[in-house]
Structure 1
């Protein structure tokens, strides 16, 4: 079994196209590509992302920002969600409503956006009182994985590529973000997440006799075009993130 995992596209169609092209170049078909959610939210091109995703029919779970787009009224949305919502059609929103919270892929991998209990909580990271994003304690990570039978567990949400081994041999993988390499948030306490590179991130997972091989791939694309688009849409922090992988 060999498949690709993508997550956190956030409306970045240029990054998604580059990642999909690289996945195809690795000999992996769309039916063997999974998407961990947060597809559209951002000051970019939600419509183009919707066309790409729905045409490929990737195995997809719903992210927290996907949920906001179908649960919140426009006036309640943050600016990134509102920008995406205005671009999406009723068919696009119906597609989001059809997505599951979590799923099992090919009987070998468990998929969720953030954690099995909450779509808006970091699984592998936590935020300190001073706003530092650090690795979460092993016991808490393992407690949230109780009851999952699959040897490979996939999550996104934090936008940081990471592999963590559980004590029983299972593995949790976050493939990083396709389209949003840095952001700030005030959940728990104000904090920043910065990948430090503008490259689009995804992972290839391959099952071998004694476990899983995980290959993170960081893909160049015309990230400056997306940075300029974010600036044109009034989002300077997004423009900086897309240009450098850091916030200004």
Structure 2
């Protein structure tokens, strides 16, 4: 069994198309989408159209939940743009998506964790920023994840951990945005350090799962230029470099 796991596309249609083209060469049995599909200053409507037509196994991320709340005054800029661009049928598709999904009994799809779509599963936050989570922290968050393989997203950071009980937790990284900063619950940044679109292929052999993380080139300068046109220089820097723009003095 070979599964291509996508997450955090964030309306970056060029990155999505490049990843889908790469997947075609990899001989996978299934493609899954772990949410955060459209929010951002790029091409939310076109990205959702592409995904609806593909009919992939898809779950809802925190940004779908926030857009569906329908109150732009309480949304960030990325959700506001997506909400303004998406059609009623696209919002209805968001509403139809589950918050988690099992594939048979062996594979669980979540966005953040099984408890909440904004949980950092494989990373931990403190007043010192963001770091890789310890085994004990991940084991605690996996309490409700009853599957041999758990695929998660949300943090945009490609990472995997095999738990002592045999469960395998994999975050494929982000298709569409390779760096961001957040102030909650502590100020922190996520940076992959390159602009390549990320996804993962997980493979089962003899009852054990392994993960291959893939980084795919695409026209990120064009995506960055579009972000600049839409008034998002922060996105432009992240799309070009995979890093967060340093604070201005």
Normalized against structure 2, the TM-score is what? 0.95
Aligned length, in residue pairs: 245
What is aligned with 2:95? 97
Give SS of 1:85's match.
Answer: helix
Give SS of 1:111's match.
Answer: strand
Query: Is residue 165 from structure 1 mapped to residue 162 from structure 2 by the alignment?
Result: yes
For the residues of structure 2 that align with 1:226 and 1:105, how far apart are their CA atoms?
A: 33
Give SS of 1:94's match.
Answer: helix
1:117-136 to structure 2, matched below 5 A, reads 117-131=115-129, 133-136=130-133
For the residues of structure 2 that align with 1:148 and 1:247, how far apart are their CA atoms?
A: 32
**Which of residues 69, 75, 78 is equivalent to 2:76?**
78
For the residues of structure 2 that align with 1:48 and 1:36, how far apart are their CA atoms?
A: 18
What is aligned with 1:150? 147
For the residues of structure 1 that align with 2:207 and 2:99, how far apart are their CA atoms?
A: 29
Structure 1: gaps of 5 or more residues = none
Query: Is residue 198 from structure 1 mapped to residue 192 from structure 2 by the alignment?
Result: no
Q: What whole-Å deviation, never above 9, does each CA across 1:103-147 have from its counterpart, x for those lacking one?
A: 11243211100011111120111122122x102232231122124
Shift >3 Å, 4+ stretches: none
**Which of residues 41, 45, 48 is equivalent to 1:47?**
45
Give SS of 1:25's match.
Answer: coil
**Which of residues 105, 108, 114 is equivalent to 2:106?**
108
Q: Give the conservation status (yes or no) of the 8 Å contact 2:114–2:144.
A: no
Q: What whole-Å deviation, never above 9, does each CA across 1:6-35 have from its counterpart, x for those lacking one?
A: 000001000000001111121236xx1000
What is aligned with 1:69? 67
Q: Give the conservation status (yes or no) of the 8 Å contact 2:44–2:86.
A: yes
For the residues of structure 2 that align with 1:186 and 1:168, how far apart are their CA atoms?
A: 34
**Which of residues 224, 227, 230 is equivalent to 1:230?**
227
For the residues of structure 2 that align with 1:240 and 1:206, how far apart are their CA atoms?
A: 34
For the residues of structure 1 that align with 2:94 and 2:78, how far apart are their CA atoms?
A: 16
Q: What whole-Å deviation, never above 9, does each CA across 1:187-216 have from its counterpart, x for those lacking one?
A: 111111111010000000110015112111
For the residues of structure 1 that align with 2:28 and 2:96, how far apart are their CA atoms?
A: 25
What is aligned with 2:2? 2
For the residues of structure 1 that align with 2:218 and 2:133, how far apart are their CA atoms?
A: 32
Structure 2: gaps of 5 or more residues = none
